[in-house]
Amino acid sequence: MKKGDALDKLDQAGNTINSLYGSAWNTALNPTRYGWGSSLIGVLSIAPLSFASLGHLVGSSVVRQVPDETFEKITTLGAGDPPKKSE
């Protein structure tokens, strides 16, 4: 996998997390609009989404710091032909 492709996927994942995070807060803060059950689920989903956001931040930072050549070597480990079985 190329580093640019990985960064694109990370950006898409970050956008998804941010969208869900905003939606969770919106739902949690408007129980009269969405109902109390949905608001409680929104409140409960904020913590896991915060951890996901933090994990995304760390992962994205690490990927951005790894040189292109090293990144491609790491992501292609084991992608070669499998070893032949000895008879």
Query: pLDDT of 33-52, one tens digit each?
Result: 999 999 999 999 999 999 99
pTM: 0.75
Residue 4, pLDDT score? 87
Residue 80, pLDDT score? 62
SS3 track for the chain: CCHHHHHHHHHHHHHHHHHHHHHHHHHHHCHHHHCHHHHHHHHHHHHHHHHHHHHHHHHHHHHHHCCHHHHHHHHCCCCCCCCCCCC
Q: How confident is the model at residue 8 (pLDDT cuts 50, 70, 90)?
A: very high
